[in-house]
């Protein structure tokens, strides 16, 4: 993640959740998309010191509640799960509907090889 532009990306998200402890950000998640058909859950992250305390669950509850209240019928809601994290998202009814499809992405950078 490019932290130099993180504030701008949060500000331009459709919806975001930021969890703080004594003014320190310890967790976040956000929704991006076109506001009509496609919505993506992005950047669900909890600081390692605070993991295992239900913070990620609360972030997901807030994001899924927003989506339930603010998306049209048959909207596509997607996310990319990190390796080993799919089970967490399955609790919120996310499924790998098509094992024949592969989620792909590209990072716009001269140093892409360093990122991956």
Residue that has been written with the tokens 């807030």 in this structure: 62
Alpha helices in 71-111 (DSSP H): 86-90
Band of the pLDDT at 50, cuts 50, 70, 90?
A: very high
Q: Which residues in 29-58 are b (16+ Cβ under 10 Å) and which e?
A: bbbbbeeeeebbbbbbbbeeeeeeeebbee
The CATH code belonging to domain 6-115 is 3.40.630.30
Region of poorest pLDDT, from 30-34, 49-53, 85-89, 95-99: 95-99
**C-beta separation of 39 from 2 below 8 A:** no
- pLDDT, tens digit, 9 for 90 and up, residues 75-113: 999 998 888 888 999 999 998 877 777 777 777 766 555
Neighbours of 71 (CB within 10 A): 19
What is the set of active-site residues? 89
The model carries a pTM of 0.81
């Amino acid at each position: 993640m490019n932290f130099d532009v993180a504030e701008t990306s949060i500000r331009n998200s459709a919806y975001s959740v930021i969890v703080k402890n004594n003014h320190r950000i310890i967790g976040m998640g956000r929704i991006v998309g076109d506001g009509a058909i496609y919505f993506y859950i992005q950047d669900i992250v909890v600081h390692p010191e605070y993991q295992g305390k239900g913070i990620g669950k609360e972030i997901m509850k807030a994001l899924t509640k927003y989506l339930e209240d603010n998306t049209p019928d048959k909207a596509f809601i997607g996310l990319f799960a990190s390796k080993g994290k799919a089970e967490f998202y399955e609790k919120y009814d996310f499924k790998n509907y098509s094992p024949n499809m592969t989620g792909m992405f590209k990072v716009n950078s001269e140093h892409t090889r360093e990122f991956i």
